[in-house]
Amino acid sequence: MAPTSTAFPAPGSDPAAAESATTGLRERKKQRTREALVDAAHRLFLSQGYAGTTVDEIAAAVDVSQRTFFRYFANKEEAALAVMSDAEDHFIELLRARPAGEPPLPAMREAICATWRDFSASHHPAGRGVTAALELVQLIETTPTLLAAHLRRSADQERRVAEILAAREGVDPAADLRPRLLAAVFGAAVRTAHLAWTAGAAARPAEDDGPEGLIAVIQHHLDQLGPALAADWSDTARGI
């Protein structure tokens, strides 16, 4: 079984049609099973909790054996984090597509915002995507096992990002610390933004106003990176 193809489609395209044209029945079936498993897992995790859901339950919900589940996902976490994983792949693609002259941090900033915009537009119509993302991020942050797995994935992601940055800027990734550092710092800022977003979500109205709320939070965090590193934390030094 080949590894699943990456990311979600660009908005406007029809993924199902494009897929069935290029691939056979076997591949389509596999894709459907995989999506069904992710869906069932997501639903069960949210209603019963992550630890309270057994792999057997997920498999049974899709009418598939437990062994089959583990042929699609290396472990229980992978099923929960599949959507995040797609988003990360999509971010990489968008970052690679940024214009060459753009400085590194702005390039990443644009890529992350576009990632969330594309995310909420695809897969789930009518903005359901952002609500689903919120639920998922909250699930991750409140489940130690999932948080651990997610952070480990993020570390891999940062390695990929560092390589792209080094190539973009034409520096030696072995000698120059800046690519790895910026990738790590960016990852830290985005994760902190996710935390703030999920924490604030309880206070906000429950309606889904698209990805702009989350994007604003991320932008705000990136803006505060400089002030946070500054020696002077008096309010006059902060960009308020």
Residue ranges in contact with a second copy by CB under 8 A: 103-106, 144, 147-149, 151-152, 154-155, 169, 171, 177-182, 184-185, 187-189, 191-192, 195-196, 220-221, 224-229, 231-233, 238
Report if residue 30 touches DNA, rule: CB under 7 A.
yes
One residue of 74, 174, 202, 206 binding DNA per CB under 7 A: 74
Rounded-to-integer distance, Cα 38 and Cα 200, Å: 27
Whose Cβ is closer to a second copy: residue 113's or residue 189's?
189
Residue 124 interacting entry, from a second copy, DNA, none, C-beta within 5 to 8 Å by type: none
Q: How far is the CB of 49 from DNA (least distance, A)?
A: 11
Residue 185 interacting entry, from DNA, a second copy, none, C-beta within 5 to 8 Å by type: a second copy
Residue in 176, 171, 7 with CA at minimum distance from that of residue 87: 7
Report if residue 5 touches DNA, rule: CB under 7 A.
no
Measured CA to CA in angstroms, residue 171 lies from 41, 94, 110, 116, 230 at distances of 43, 21, 22, 29, 26
Which residue's entry shows tokens 């494009």?
18
Q: How far is the CB of 119 from a second copy (least distance, A)?
A: 23
Residue in 198, 70, 181 with CA at minimum distance from that of residue 143: 198
Contact 123, 133 (CB under 8 A): no
